[in-house]
Amino acid sequence: MSPLFPDLSRPAPPDRPALRFGDRGLTYAELAAAAGALAPRLREAGRVAVWATPTLETAVGVVAALLAGVPAVPLNPKSGDSELGHIVKDSAPTLILTAPGTELPSALGDLARVEIDATPGGGAPYTVGDVPDTAPALIVYTSGTTGPPKGAVIPRRAIATTLDALADAWQWTGDDVLVHALPLFHVHGLILGVLGPLRRGGSVRHLGRFGTEGVARELTAGATMLFGVPTMYHRVAEALPGDPELAKALARARLLVSGSAALPVHDHERIAAATGRRVIERYGMTETLMNTSVRADGEPRAGTVGVPLPGVELRLVEDDGTPLTADDGESVGEIQVRGPNLFTEYLNRPDATAAAFTADGWFRTGDMAVRDPDGYVRIVGRKATDLIKSGGYKIGAGEIENALLEHPAVREAAVTGEPDPDLGERVVAWIVPADPGARPSPEELAAHVAARLAPHKRPRTVHYLGSLPRNDMGKIMKRALKTDD
């Protein structure tokens, strides 16, 4: 198999920027030396955990593990002892990689520690052995919303094919400079945000902590791409009216990409109006890496996640697994995907692995969508929490949330379903008012939605909150929704 990072495998890696975290950085030659010095120590390690702080050390540690052909298990530093204990017991790493001087929680106390030296130094690149493309590269744990987190085993093949497909879709080259502030224990920040630039031969500038000032600074200083989650782009949209320098910086970007959750159409439009640049969205999961994207040379249609990436097969199916026959932009079905981008298994969970796939190899994503006649996919929500069956209709929560966010008195919105003796389920809206002292009435919100979508999609119940519960990636945790009333 060809190397994951061609520029790191050259006898003389190039002396151009590869990684920068804050004021610390490494060129390709320096990264090859730092990761190359660590890789031999990992070669016989089995699996290694990585304390995935947003630092240069995390990037060096993961690259070293990949060079050594050893699966890395990124750990979220914000996880509690119970979750960390489960992950360590399940994945059984033989050691943990950390930045020097890191204080680890008690759940990790029994692991042997190797401190990562990310200082520029000399040394020859590590010679990668013959690692098959089916070999595990990463074990990334799911969020565990329906039980203990499961370890998705991601093969090297999935990383390579996903990053190459995104290069095709986004016209991503070694000339691109990516800026982001995404966490490095997740597919978005680690695989797309760090390994992606390294595979292309480009560079990444990690902000450490998201801020519109840092985004403006890096885009003004030559960065060409910005990756973010909807919460970040919402803050950008909020800041733009009073920050002309931010608008100018975003206008310079070649590509603005949002992922990990749906970006509200209202924020799409505000950013486009202020900058002349459209944010594009893509769709992926821990288990599948990336499935679809709006292409850089395609139509940046707000509210959609574009078309299937090269090599990815995608279909929508009914509840009984029957494929939908019409791409009419209205028929809702569950997304199933098949291709080289898929994970191989849930670690130690053959039952869960078998349940996740159909007999002919399609992965059941649990995401509901519609597909337009030209192939554009629009996610309407998760099957478990966002599909509402009301009065004989299948209703996706996402489109109602977008409609609610267009109301000037609504700052944040989430939509769920709850049992109804007449309708089966009724639509419930959870609203964070723009002004807590001036709540829009339930009747006003219902009329607002009915006028934009259809009467059967209007919320029948409205709850008002001070904020919506979100995870580290900005996704709304609907199972945690509780009323403040």
Please state the three-class secondary structure of the chain as a single string.
CCCCCHHHCCCCCCCCEEEEECCEEEEHHHHHHHHHHHHHHHCCCCCEEEECCCCHHHHHHHHHHHHHCCCEEEECCCCCHHHHHHHHHHHCCCEEEECCCCCCCHHHCCCEEEECCCCCCCCCCCCCCCCCCCCEEEEEECCCCCCCCCEEEEEHHHHHHHHHHHHHHHCCCCCCEEEECCCCCCHHHHHHHHHHHHHHCCEEEECCCCCHHHHHHHHHCCCCEEEECHHHHHHHHHHHHHCHHHHHHHHHCCEEEECCCCCCHHHHHHHHHHHCCCEEEEEEECCCEEEEECCCCCCCCCCCCCEECCCCEEEEECCCCCECCCCCCCCCEEEEEECCCCCCEECCCHHHHHHHECCCCCEEEEEEEEECCCCCEEEEEECCCCEEEECCEEEEHHHHHHHHHCCCCEEEEEEEEEEECCCEEEEEEEEEECCCCCCCCHHHHHHHHHHHCCHHHCCCEEEECCCCCECCCCCECHHHCCCCC
Task: Evaluate whether residue 373 is within a structural domain.
Answer: no
Q: What pLDDT score does 124 carry?
A: 63
- Express each pLDDT in 183-223 by its tens digit: 999 999 999 999 999 999 999 999 999 999 999 999 999 99
CATH code where residue 398 lies: 3.30.300.30
Express as a percent the part of the chain with pLDDT over 70. 94
- Give residue 452's pLDDT: 81
* CATH number of residue 148's parent domain: 3.40.50.12780
Q: How confident is the model at residue 456 (pLDDT cuts 50, 70, 90)?
A: confident
For the cut 70, the answer to whether the pLDDT of residue 355 exceeds it is yes
1 pLDDT more than 70: no
Residue 418 pLDDT more than 90? no
Please say which residue of 161, 189, 217 terminates a domain: 189
- Bigger pLDDT: 42 or 425? 42
- Quick: pLDDT tens for 91-124: 999 999 999 999 999 999 889 999 999 987 766 6
Most confident of 73-82, 192-201, 259-268: 192-201
Q: Is residue 244 domain-resident?
A: no
In a domain, 293, yes or no: no
Is residue 136 one of the residues assigned to a domain? yes
Identify the band that residue 420 occupies on the pLDDT scale cut at 50, 70 and 90.
confident
366 part of a folded domain:
no
pLDDT at 386 over 80: no
Query: Does the residue 475 lie in any domain?
Result: yes
Q: Is residue 412 part of a domain?
A: yes
| Domain coverage including residue 136 | 6-189
pLDDT tens-digit profile of 388-399? 777 666 777 877
Please state the rounded mean pLDDT for residues 325-350: 91
Query: Which of 159, 189, 219 corresponds to the end of one domain?
Result: 189
Q: Is residue 315 part of a domain?
A: no
**Residue of 117 and 453 predicted with greater confidence:** 117
Q: Final residue of a domain: which of 189, 212, 237?
A: 189
pLDDT of residue 10: 86
Per-residue pLDDT, 178: 98
What is the average pLDDT value for the chain, to the nearest integer?
A: 90
How many domains in the chain? Answer: 2
Q: Give the global pTM.
A: 0.85
Q: Name the least confident of 79-88, 195-204, 469-478.
A: 469-478
